[in-house]
Amino acid sequence: MAVAAQVPTDNRYEALAQELETAALLVPTPESGLTGEATTYFPAIFDLLGGCAHPFYRRFSSSPSPELRRAALNWLQLIQSRHKMCKSSAGKVN
């Protein structure tokens, strides 16, 4: 196993984003009208991971909650508009 300092930053960010996505899948989706606290930490996720947060926001983009879905789509559009996609692929986390 590689030491964290030896792994390229984009790979670490992408792996972290995928772990966040996996964690998000384990949390029940809030009902319509109740976004929970998800949208309150969306900005921090972007600040931390930039474009590597794409998998995390993608998880919420199909939420039955219109508020949550709209917030996730806004962040996905921001990533795309700033061309901030991850440059590497860390592999899908199941």
In a domain, 94, yes or no: no
- Residue 10, pLDDT score: 77
Q: Between these two residues, 56 and 75, which has the higher pLDDT value?
A: 75
- Residue 73, pLDDT score: 95
Selection from 44, 26, 36 nearest residue 68 by Cα: 36
- Residue 5, pLDDT score: 62
- Residue 94, pLDDT score: 36
Q: Where in the sequence is the domain holding 70, given as residue range(s)? A: 12-21+38-85
In a domain, 31, yes or no: no
Q: Between these two residues, 76 and 68, which has the higher pLDDT value?
A: 76
In a domain, 90, yes or no: no
- Residue 76, pLDDT score: 94
In a domain, 92, yes or no: no
pTM of the model: 0.62
In a domain, 58, yes or no: yes
What is the domain count for the chain? 1
Q: pLDDT per residue over 13-62, tens digit each? A: 778 877 877 777 777 766 666 666 777 888 988 888 888 888 888 888 88
